[in-house]
Amino acid sequence: MSREVDLTKYLPAFLLEYEELRTALSAMSPDFKLVWQMGDDTLNNFFVSTADTNAIGRYEKIYGIQPDSLDALEQRRARVMGFLTAPSPMTLKYLNAWLKSLYEKNGACTDDYDLHITFFPVQRPITGR
């Protein structure tokens, strides 16, 4: 969100008579505009859906996602969101419903595709009581 910062509007009326104050505050206005923009950017980077390239890179590093160099920012955001929303152990029924919800939102037909899944069983150590 771009904010137009005019510091002179915060001065009392009797101080507006002084050219020195108006000039000094006018010179500081671009700096305050930059601070507001940086604050907005920081707030936007807290959320994956509005994060910029640097923040998405940090999310990818945290979650161990390897970005493709040809991916657009929206694709990278979608990959991070997919990682965050998918449950870790997943049933086939849930996977099917999740993929349908993703593709139906985008207007793609899911009946034209086949999905081949290779299951890798997880071997957990047996612990005795």
Provide the residue-wise pLDDT of the chain in tens; the chain has 129 residues: 567 778 888 889 898 889 998 899 888 888 888 998 999 999 999 999 999 999 999 999 998 888 888 889 999 998 899 888 877 677 778 877 877 777 666 555 556 667 677 766 666 665 554
How many alpha carbons lie under 13 Å from residue 105 in its C-beta half-sphere? 6
Neighbours of 32 (CB within 10 A): 14
Reduced DSSP (H G I as helix, E B as strand, rest coil) percent helix, strand, coil of the chain, to 5: 60, 0, 40
Q: What are residue 23's phi and psi, to 5 degrees?
A: -65, -45
Neighbours of 57 (CB within 10 A): 14
